[in-house]
Structures are given as C-alpha cells and as structure tokens.
A and B are shown apart, each in its own frame.
Chain A
C-alpha cells in the first residue's frame, strides 16, 4: 500500500456529529475552516483547506436555503462552496429545476 494512504484522520465520525449540530451552512463552513487543520494533518495551503472543508461540509448534510455570505471576495471559494450547497439542495429536494430556473431567461414552464 502506498505511503500516502497512511495519513490519519482523528475520529471522523465524531466531528461529523459536531458539524451536524451547526445551524446553517455558514456556521458549518466557518467551523470546519477553523478546525480542519486539527483534524487532518496534511493541509498545506488555503486551497487544500478548502478542499477538505467542502468535503466535510458535503457530508454534514446541512441544507441551507440562504446563500452563505462569507465568500463574495474570492471566485475559487465561491465556486467551491456553491457546488456543495447546490449538491445538498439537490439531494434534499430531488430536483435541480428550481435553482436552474433562476438562470433562465424565460419564465418557468
């Protein structure tokens, strides 16, 4: 087995449980971003932190109708968190029509 897979993650299930107690995607993302380096030892830079943060965010299952308000400044951050938020919304509602209509030039059918 390759060396890279010997990284250790500290009690994966317990911090997913902690995350689930967050009230909003905003809160969850802030919480993960602050703590993720304690959980995972291999984070090297902000994009690496973002990759792990969005990975855990997607698994915490918090669906938030509100757009998170903390990421207007950076396009990479915005694109990454939006993708997770849309995935969570899509899974909850079983359809992506509503958000896609928002991008439509014509009225909904």
Chain B
C-alpha cells in the first residue's frame, strides 16, 4: 500500500498523464488511497476526456460499488451533472438508510442544482418525526442551496413545528439553521446578500475542539488560542472581521450551541460548521470526509454571507487541504502555519529513523505530503517561534529555502500568545474559585485540613497523550505527595467519552491503592478558559506555602503548550515535557524546567530532581517561577501577537 501511495503522490506532483480508468480502479483500498485518487482527479480532470471520465464513473456507480459516496462526491465537487433523475431516485431509495451515501447523494443534488428534487426534499421535511438529525440538516442545506421562494412556506412550517417541540435537544440549533436556509433563499432572490465590507476579512480554522468545551475534546489549546487571538485582532480594528470556524458534529455535538455567535467583540464571530461525522479520531475522519468539509465550509460562508479575503489553516491534515483547495477555487489568499509535526517525530531519540508498521507509515506520510503541498500552495507561511527564531522547520523543508519561488513567499515567525487581561468581574471572588478545590460534584476533592499545602496543577483534556494518569502515579509514588496536593482539571466527568473513561478508570485504580492520599488529590471537570485562568490566579493569590505552586505538564510531548504559558503568566513554576516545542520558550533551570515524560517513573524522577533537590532552595525555585512570569508577560501577550498577525495578513493582501 505504501508503494501505491508513493506512486499516486508522484502522479499528483508531476501532473504526468495517467488513464482515468486505472486511477478510479484504485478506489476502495483504503482512505489514504481514496484521498490520493481524489487529488489526481482534481489535478487531471482538465486534461482527461470529460465524456470518457463521466462514462467510467457511471459504469462504476451502476455496479453499485462500495465506494459510491466517493464517486458521488467527485461528481458533486466537479459539478458533473450526469445522473439521470430515475437513477438518482433509485439510488435514494436503495441507499436512503446509509448515512454516508445519503449525504453524498444530497450533496450531488445541491452542487449539480437538480431542482426537480425540490419536492422530494420538501416531502422529507414534512415527515420530521421520522428524520434523524443529520438528515434534517442535510435536507435544509440542499433546499437552501437550490430552492426558490416557493420553498419558504415549507421552511416556515418546519420551523413552527420544531419550535413546538421544545423538549427536543436540537430545537435551538435546528431552528437557527432553518432560519438561515430561509434567509439564504430570500437574499438570493433579491441579489444583495453581501455585507458591506470595510476592510480585510479573515477566516481562521480551529477544527479540533470547540471553545465552548475546553478540556473536553481534541485541540482545546488551539480553540483557546484562536478565540483569544480573534478577540484581540477584532479589538485592534486593523481587520474588518474575523471568523473562527469550528466543526459541529451532527452525530454527537451539543445542541445548545449556536451556529454563529459574536465573541468578545462584534467584529469576531465563532462559526460552527455542521458535519455528519463524529468528533473523535478527527485526522482519520478528515481524510474520509475531505470533500464534505470543503463543501460544508463553502456553504457556511454562503449562508452567513461571509466573503473572506484570507483563510488561515494551522495543521497538516486533510481538513486543511480541503480549505486550501477551497481558497484557491474562491480565489482567496491562503496562510499556513507550518510545524514539523510529524517530521521531527519520525526519528527516535538516537536520531535513527523509526520502524513503523504500514498503517502508521501511511498516516505520517500523508501528513508529510499535505504539509509539502500546503507550503507550495500557501500565499504566506507562519512558523511558530519567538524573537524571530525557529530551528525546527529548516531541517525538514529544503524546498522552503532552496526553491526560489518558495523563498519569495512572505514568511514570518510568530509566537503563540495568551490573554493577559483576565480579571474578576463584579461579584466574583478568588475565594469562590478556590472553593472548587473542596466543594464540587466530583469524587476527588481536597480536605480543608490540607489546604495550606502547595499545589501541583495540571489542566487539559483527559487523554492518554496528556499523561494525567502518569502524573498521578508519579505523585503517589513520590515523597512529593507528602508535601504537595495534586489537582487535575479536565474532561467531562459527568459524561466521559471513551478516552476520558479510560483515564478515569486508571485514576480510580491508583487512588484505590492509596486511600491514605484521599483529601490531598482533586479532580475537577474541564472549566471554560476564563474560569481556569481565574482559578489559577486564585491558587496563586491564596495558597502561599514555603514551596512554590507548580504547573506540571505531563504530556508525552507538547507542540507548544498554551496551558503552560497561562500558568506561568500568574507565577506557577512550570515543569514541562522535554519533547516537543516547549523548549522554545522554557530554558531549563532559568525560567522553568524540562523533564522526560514518557512514563510515570520519568515524571517522578524529573519532578523530584526539581522540587526535592538539595541543590535548589525554595527561594530559588520561586525566583525561577517569577522569571517565567515576567518572560511570558513580555513575549506572549496576545495583543502583541495579534498585531503581528494582522500586519502579516494585510501585507499579503497588499502584495496581491
């Protein structure tokens, strides 16, 4: 499979001739191969005989092959309206129960503007009680895309119907989506749907996690960063509007969220893009649903009347690839934040190439391939670093500094940042936040008798890669548990997902073996970013033991570690992973500490070497924490970072 993937990538890269039948025959072997086949179709469709290509696709559809949804998406993406109505009806009848194929059929109807199916869509909406939620959204989307004023009455009836069903969890969001559909149809007819743009409009993508659920899903740090950054850019008024996109899984997501909402400032909006796939295992889901993401984002832009000048993507994954393709189609500028993940993790500690199984190799090589393509297609490149330094990219990207066309691209090195202006509001108090330690719904809380002791804090989603279970093991095995309380914040403790459940089980097992530590260990559900920041401040304000309060990041590796910066900014002594990007801002023993985090013993030894070492006094540790605080405040203030980004975007627009 790796050999075939290499061959298909070389075909995309060289744009060499290849027969469409040979390419389409490769569909269905794996999501990696399917994704590359779609890339070849994109790069070759203009040189293939269109009629011949369409015949080949029709033949395959007639055979009823399992990769039907991919073929339908290819037709929809390239707007090849080749399916006869009776064929479409037959497919809808036969595959209406299949989530993937039904969605793909409707995308085809929408993109190919098959208006004769409007009555079919209307009939489906009328039978609302039989409609699963994803189908209702898909139908509303396509109806809004191809419908005319005649559809408005049915949409109105649908909205009235769902507003009566107030006990249904999805009422709010479905009602909002129906209203958007009506508005889209109404505005299309009067032809003045574009908002008055006063300046540059940025769309930034945060496809892992959601700001409404920090610490509960993948990518909480990214959601926090982009929301804070968006707010700050909006305040500075250098850009006209900022839209931060999150994905909204119709399968599992929270129905009380809004699809579009202002955030912090009226010029910054959170936009949630409805998608049919689940929120877990996103990298893999992005690969399978690359076209769905591309189209869903385009549809959301149309529905919300957003006319972006720049798209900013931040990960080397198929969702970023989808957005890159979309930006080129819409003739918009593209900015890509390039990191060396996975490149720098493909060699071991001894510097030698890691031996990987085929599936893992395919996964990593797909990210490498996407990163290379995005570097080529981006109009501007951002690297993460500060003081204009980044030494992690050049070892893996020769093209970036040797190929003249790439060398000319705008590039900047920008730190990530945090909001330094998080304060108590009227009626709030630090004591109230501190009470969370002793008084909450969870199973593990501190006892008042131990409240004088310093705290080791860790905040983040509950997941194996974040290593909270290892940190707990390290703490119970160490003399540190005699001095420090341990506080973990993260995850949805009321309704944990599978990975959260696994970590909770490990935590329970450890604590069952150590009943003597009850009352010195606290586990709290994830808190919104503002609350965790105030909680950290409360700890620093109210708990002043001889030893400093510590923020311990136990992740196996951390790409950057926004949560570490946040804790450092209020004076926690940071102990963070040696592996990853934290070393770009923590200088070991100067403004924090870097330790090995690959297992509990390594974490225990690392933390003991810092906190129990006779060579470093508690006063010196406090001085190091203070240096960290000063450094973070000076370098990572989000307002400074936002100014760099805004100017970078404006420069790219100016260059164009």
- Whether A and B are associated in the same complex: the answer reads yes
Distance to closest chain B CB from A103 (angstroms): 5
Contacts known (A78-B3, A79-B6, A90-B14); A4 close to B394, Cβ less than 8 A = yes
**Of the candidates A12, A40, A82, A96, which one forms a contact with B18 in the assembled complex, judged by CB atoms under 8 Å apart?**
A96
A99 to B10, alpha carbons, bound, how many Å? 11
Interchain CB contact (< 8 A) of A95 among B6, B10, B17, B351: B17
Question: Does A50 sit at the interface, judged by CB under 8 A?
Answer: yes
Q: In the complex the two chains form, what is the Cα distance from A3 to B459 in whole Å?
A: 34
Those of A59-109 within 8 Å (CB) of chain B: 73-80, 82-84, 86-87, 90-91, 93-97, 99-101, 103-106, 109
Bound-state CA distance A104–B9 (Å) is 17
Interface presence of A21 (CB below 8 A): no
Cβ of B353 and Cβ of A74 under 8 Å apart? Answer: yes
In contact, B343 and A100 (Cβ under 8 angstroms): no
Question: Are A83 and B390 closer than 8 Å at their CB atoms?
Answer: no
Within A1-20, which residues are at the interface with B (CB < 8 Å)? 2-5, 7, 9, 12
Question: Which of the residues A5, A42, A96 comes within 8 Å of B11, measured between beta carbons?
Answer: A96
Given A2-B383, A47-B353, A83-B13; 19 other pairs, CB 8 A cutoff = A3-B413, A5-B401, A7-B401, A45-B352, A46-B352, A51-B398, A76-B361, A76-B365, A79-B6, A83-B10, A86-B11, A87-B13, A87-B14, A93-B16, A96-B11, A100-B11, A100-B19, A103-B7, A104-B25
| Residue of B whose beta carbon sits closest to that of A5 | B401
Q: Mark B353-386, 1 if CB is under 8 A from A, else 0.
A: 1111110011011000000000000000001000
| Chain A residues, CB < 8 A from B200 | none
Q: Is the CB of B16 within 8 A of A91?
A: yes
14 pairs from A and B in contact (CB 8 Å cutoff):
A2-B412, A3-B413, A5-B401, A47-B347, A51-B397, A75-B355, A75-B356, A80-B6, A80-B365, A90-B10, A95-B17, A100-B11, A100-B23, A103-B26
Contact among A3, A52, A82 with B7 in the assembled complex (CB-CB below 8 Å): A82
* A42-B395 in contact given A2-B383, A5-B401, A82-B2 (Cβ < 8 Å): yes
Instruction: State whether A75 and B357 are in contact (beta carbons under 8 Å apart), knowing that A2-B413, A86-B7, A97-B18 are contacts in the complex.
Output: yes
A48 in the interface (beta carbon within 8 A): yes
A interface bracket (residues with beta carbon within 8 Å of B): 35 or more
Check B130 for interface membership: any CB of A closer than 8 A: no
Chain A residues near B396 (CB-CB < 8 A): 47-48, 51
Contacts of A94 in B (CB 8 A): 16-17
Asked whether any CB of chain A lies closer than 8 Å to the CB of B388, the reply is: yes
* A43 at interface, CB cutoff 8 A: yes
Query: Are A45 and B347 in contact, CB atoms less than 8 angstroms apart?
Result: yes
Instruction: Check: B281 CB closer than 8 A to any chain A CB.
Output: no
- What per-residue 1/0 map shows which CB atoms of A23-59 lie under 8 Å from chain B? 0000000000000000010111111101110010000
Instruction: Select one of B7, B395, B401, B412 contacting A99, CB under 8 A.
Output: B7
Tell me whether B405 is interfacial, beta carbon within 8 Å.
Answer: no
CA distance in complex: A104, B26 (Å): 8
In the assembly, what is the distance between CA of A100 and CA of B19, in Å? 9
Partner of B402, one of A9, A50, A96, A103: A9
Q: Which secondary structure dominates chain A's binding surface?
A: helix
Residue of A nearest to B3 (CB): A82
| Alpha-carbon distance between A93 and B10 when the two chains are bound, in angstroms | 13
Residues of A within 8 A of B4 (CB): 103
| B413–A47 CB distance below 8 A | no
Say whether B388 contacts A2, CB under 8 Å: yes
Residues B351 and A46 in contact, CB atoms below 8 Å apart: yes
Identify B19's interface contact among A83, A93, A97, CB under 8 A. A97
A90 proximity list for chain B (CB < 8 A)? 10-11, 14, 16
Q: Scan residues 391-420 of chain B and give those whose CB is less than 8 A from a CB of chain A.
A: 391, 393-402, 407, 411-413
Q: Which A residues lie within 8 Å of B21 (CB)?
A: 109
- Which B28-83 residues sit within 8 Å CB-CB of chain A? none
Contact status A44-B7, CB under 8 Å: no
Residues B2 and A79 in contact, CB atoms below 8 Å apart: yes
Query: Known contacts A2-B411, A3-B389, A12-B402: does B7 contact A76 (CB below 8 Å)?
Result: no
With both beta carbons as reference points, the residue of chain A lying nearest to B17 in the complex is identified as A95
Among residues of B, the one whose C-beta sits closest to the C-beta of A54 is B398
Contacts of B10 in A (CB 8 A): 83-84, 86-87, 90, 96
Within the complex, what minimum Cβ distance (angstroms) separates A64 from chain B? 14
In the complex, whether B449 has a CB less than 8 A from a CB of chain A is no
Q: Is B652 an interface residue (CB 8 A)?
A: no
Q: How far is the CA of A7 from the CA of B391 in the complex (A)?
A: 11
B361→A79 contact, CB < 8 A: yes
**Given A40-B398, A51-B398, A86-B7, A100 and B2 touching (CB < 8 A)?**
no
Residue of A nearest to B354 (CB): A76
A74 & B355 in contact (Cβ 8 Å cutoff): yes
Query: A4-B401, A48-B395, A55-B399 are contacts. A100–B358 as well, Cβ < 8 Å?
Result: no
Using CB atoms, name the residue of chain A closest to B401. A5
CB-CB under 8 A from A2, the residues of chain B are: 383, 388, 390, 411-413
CB-CB nearest in chain A for B347:
A45
**Minimum distance in angstroms from B616 CB to a CB of chain A:** 31
Interface flag for B191 (CB, 8 Å): no
The reply on B5 being an interface residue by CB < 8 A is: yes
Interface core residue of A12, A77, A86 (most chain B CB under 10 Å): A86
Would you call B346 an interface residue if the criterion is a C-beta within 8 Å of the partner chain's C-beta atoms?
yes
Interchain CB contact under 8 A, B352 and A51: no
- Cβ of B22 under 8 Å from chain A: yes
Q: Provide the residues of chain A in CB contact with B400, threshold 8 Å.
A: 4-5
Task: Give the CA-CA distance A109 to B395 in the complex, in Å.
Answer: 44
Known: A51-B343, A51-B397, A76-B346. A100 touches B365 (CB 8 A): no
With A and B bound together, what is the CA distance between A44 and B401 in angstroms?
Answer: 16
A91 to B347, Cβ gap below 8 A?
no
Closest 3 CB pairs of A and B: A45-B347, A86-B10, A90-B16
The residues of A that contact B398 with a CB separation of less than 8 Å are: 40, 51-52, 55
> What CA separation (Å) do A101 and B411 show in the bound complex?
42
B226 to chain A, nearest CB (A): 23
Task: Please determine whether B16 and A95 come into contact, CB atoms closer than 8 angstroms.
Answer: yes
The answer to whether B353 and A55 have CB atoms under 8 Å apart is: no
User: How far is B383's CA from A45's CA once the two chains are assembled, in angstroms?
Assistant: 20
How far apart sit A42 and B407, CA to CA, in the bound complex (Å)? 17
Structural contact, A82 and B388, CB atoms closer than 8 A: no
**Chain B contacts for A45, CB-based, 8 A:** 344, 347, 351-352, 395
Residues of A within 8 A of B17 (CB): 94-97
Query: Would you call B383 and A4 a contact (CB within 8 A)?
Result: yes
Interface members, chain B 233-266 (any A CB < 8 Å): none
* Residues of chain B in range 264-282 having any CB-CB distance to chain A below 8 Å: none
**Which residue of B6, B353, B391 is within 8 Å of A46 (Cβ)?**
B353
A78-B14 in contact given A47-B396, A51-B396, A96-B7 (Cβ < 8 Å) = no
- Provide the bound-state CA to CA distance between A93 and B11, in Å: 12
